[in-house]
C-alpha cells in the first residue's frame, strides 16, 4: 500500500456522503442501461473509489468501523439506485465481510490491502457441468513450484467489474481448494453470457479457466470456518434480502414519479389529478408499506448478525443459528414485498404504464431473479422447523 492509502481515514459518514452523488447518477441512468444493455463501469468505479467495501471493516484494520446494519443500509440504497450494480458488488462485500469477521482468514492481510486499494472481487463455486449439487469439476494440479487450474465457473457475479476472481477447484488429492487470481492473468476469460429474465447487467456470466497458472500463496484448502458458527452464509443471504428491499424502494420511486408526472385519472374517477385519486393513493401507500417492511426486516436481521460476534463457543453457535433463522425469515418477507411492490407499480397508471420505454417491468423481473437464487419455501420451512422443534438450519451456506 502507498503512504497515501495508509494515512487515509475512512468513516461511515464519509463513505456514505461520497457515494451519494454516485448513487444519484446510477439511479438516473438505470432505465436507459436496461433498455440498451449498457454496464455502469464509470459509476461502479466511482463507488469503489469511495471504498464502500471498507464500511464494515474495523478502524484498526483501516476500515470505517461500521456495523452490519450500516453495510446493509448502504446495499439497500445501491439496489434502490440499480439492483444490477448492487448484485454485481456482492462478491466484493462478501470478501470484506470475511475480512471483518474472521481474524484467522487465510491471506487476510493481502485481501485487506486489496480492499483498501479499492479493488473489486468476483467469485463463484458454481458450475454447469451437472452432477450432484456442489460438485466441483474444475481441476487444480501441481505443475513445478505452482499449480494449473482448468475449468469453467458460472454465476461469476460482478466478473466484468472485478480485479480479482476467486473460485474453487478439486485437487489431485480429491480435496476442494479455493484460489484467487487477477482477472487479467493468462488463461482467464470472462464471458458476458448471463441470460436470465432479470438482473441482466450483473456481469454474472461464465469465467473460463484454461491452463491458468496459480502460485502456492494464491491457493488455500477450503474449510467450514469457525466450528462455533457454521452459518457463515448468513451475511450472503442477508445481502440478497437487502437487494430485494432496494428493488421495492425503487418501485416506490417510480410509482411516485409516474403518479405525479405522467399518469392521468381514469375516466370515471372523480379526481382531477392522479395524486388525488383515492385508489392511486391506496396503491402507492401499499407499495410504500411493502418497501418499508422489506427495509425494516433487513436492518433487524443485520443487528442479529452483529450480535453473534459478541459470543464464542456454545453461545455463539446458539446465537448464530437464531440469526440464520432471522435472516431466512427476512428473505421471505423481502422477496414477497419486492414482488408485490413491483406488481402494484402498474396499478398506479393505465395502459401507458406498460410502455417499454419506462422499463417498469425490470423491477419485477429483477426481484424474481434474485428470489430464485435460494427459494423462499426452504427458508420458511427451515424457520418453522427451528421454532417448532429447535432444529438447526442447514449449514450449506444458504442460511
**Tens of pLDDT along 34-44?**
999 999 999 99
Cβ atoms < 10 Å from Cβ of 189: 12
Whose grid coordinates read 473489486? Answer: 120
Q: Which residues are CB-contacts of 258 (< 8 A; sequence separation ≥ 6)?
A: 345, 348, 349, 353, 358, 360
Q: In sequence order, what are the beta bridge partners of 137?
A: none
Say what the pLDDT of residue 4 is. Answer: 43
Angle subtended by helix axes 234-261 and 12-36, to nearest 10: 70
CA distance 131 to 124: 17
114 closest CA partner among 99, 130, 131, 133: 99
Read off the pLDDT of residues 104-135 as tens digits, 9 standing for 90 and up: 999 999 999 999 999 999 999 999 865 566 68
Q: Which residues are CB-contacts of 89 (< 8 A; sequence separation ≥ 6)?
A: 44, 47, 52, 53, 75, 78, 120, 158, 161
Read off the pLDDT of residues 231-252 as tens digits, 9 standing for 90 and up: 989 999 999 999 999 999 999 9
Say what the pLDDT of residue 131 is. Answer: 55
Read off the pLDDT of residues 143-202 as tens digits, 9 standing for 90 and up: 999 999 999 999 999 999 999 999 999 999 999 999 999 999 999 999 999 999 999 999
Read off the pLDDT of residues 376-397 as tens digits, 9 standing for 90 and up: 999 999 999 999 999 999 999 9
Contact 209, 187 (CB under 8 A): yes
Say what the pLDDT of residue 310 is. Answer: 84
Read off the pLDDT of residues 54-78 as tens digits, 9 standing for 90 and up: 999 999 999 999 999 999 999 999 9
Say what the pLDDT of residue 133 is. Answer: 63
Contact 337, 244 (CB under 8 A): yes
Q: What domains appear along the chain, each with residue ranges and CATH number? A: 3-119 (1.10.540.10), 139-221 (2.40.110.10), 234-389 (1.20.140.10)
Whose grid coordinates read 434502490? Answer: 80
Say what the pLDDT of residue 2 is. Answer: 42
Q: Which residues are CB-contacts of 66 (< 8 A; sequence separation ≥ 6)?
A: 12, 55, 56
Contact 248, 337 (CB under 8 A): yes
Q: Please, what is the average pLDDT of the chain? A: 94
Whose grid coordinates read 471498507? Answer: 54
Q: In sequence order, what are the beta bridge partners of 177?
A: 169, 221
| DSSP conformation class of 103 | T
Cell triple for residue 263? 399518469
98 closest CA partner among 223, 6, 241: 223
Contact 348, 258 (CB under 8 A): yes
Amino acid at each position: 500500500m502507498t503512504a497515501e492509502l495508509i494515512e487515509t481515514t475512512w468513516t461511515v459518514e464519509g463513505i456514505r456522503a461520497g457515494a451519494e452523488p454516485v448513487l444519484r447518477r446510477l439511479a438516473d441512468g438505470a432505465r436507459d442501461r436496461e433498455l440498451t444493455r449498457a454496464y455502469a463501469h464509470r459509476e461502479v468505479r466511482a463507488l469503489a473509489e469511495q471504498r464502500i467495501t471498507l464500511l464494515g471493516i474495523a478502524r484498526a484494520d483501516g476500515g470505517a468501523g461500521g456495523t452490519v446494519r450500516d453495510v446493509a443500509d448502504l446495499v439497500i440504497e445501491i439496489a434502490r439506485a440499480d439492483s444490477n450494480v448492487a448484485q454485481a458488488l456482492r462478491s466484493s462485500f462478501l470478501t470484506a465481510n470475511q475480512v471483518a469477521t474472521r481474524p484467522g482468514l487465510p491471506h487476510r492481510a493481502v485481501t485487506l490491502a486489496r480492499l483498501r486499494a479499492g479493488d473489486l472481487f468476483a467469485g463463484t463455486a458454481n458450475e454447469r457441468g451437472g452432477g450432484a449439487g456442489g460438485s466441483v469439476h474444475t481441476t487444480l494440479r501441481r505443475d513445478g513450484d505452482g499449480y494449473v487450474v482448468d475449468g469453467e465457473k458460472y454465476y461469476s457475479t460482478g466478473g466484468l467489474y472485478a480485479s480479482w476472481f476467486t473460485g474453487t477447484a478439486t485437487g489431485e488429492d480429491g480435496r476442494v481448494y479455493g484460489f484467487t487470481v487477477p482477472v487479467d492473468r493468462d488463461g482467464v476469460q470472462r464471458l458476458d453470457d448471463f441470460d436470465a429474465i432479470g438482473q441482466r447487467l450483473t456481469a454474472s456470466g461464465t469465467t473460463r479457466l484454461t491452463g491458468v497458472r496459480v502460485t502456492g500463496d494464491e491457493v488455500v484448502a477450503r474449510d467450514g470456518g469457525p466450528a462455533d458458527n457454521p452459518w457463515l452464509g448468513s451475511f450472503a443471504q442477508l445481502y440478497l434480502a437487502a437487494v430485494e428491499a432496494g428493488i421495492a424502494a425503487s418501485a416506490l420511486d417510480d410509482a411516485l414519479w409516474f403518479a405525479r408526472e405522467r399518469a392521468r385519472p381514469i375516466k370515471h374517477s372523480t379526481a382531477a389529478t392522479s395524486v388525488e385519486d383515492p385508489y392511486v393513493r391506496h396503491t402507492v401507500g401499499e407499495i410504500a408499506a411493502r418497501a418499508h417492511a422489506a427495509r425494516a426486516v433487513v436492518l433487524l436481521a443485520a443487528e442479529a448478525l452483529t450480535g453473534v460476534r459478541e459470543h464464542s463457543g456454545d453461545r455463539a453457535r446458539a446465537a448464530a443459528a437464531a440469526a440464520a433463522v432471522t435472516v431466512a425469515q427476512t428473505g421471505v418477507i423481502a422477496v414477497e414485498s419486492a414482488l408485490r411492490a413491483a406488481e402494484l407499480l402498474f396499478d398506479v397508471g393505465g395502459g401507458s404504464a406498460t410502455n417499454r420505454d419506462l422499463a417498469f417491468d425490470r423491477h419485477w423481473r429483477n426481484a424474481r431473479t434474485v428470489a430464485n437464487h435460494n427459494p423462499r419455501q426452504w427458508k420458511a420451512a427451515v424457520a418453522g422447523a427451528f421454532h417448532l422443534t429447535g432444529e438447526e438450519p442447514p449449514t450449506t451456506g444458504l442460511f
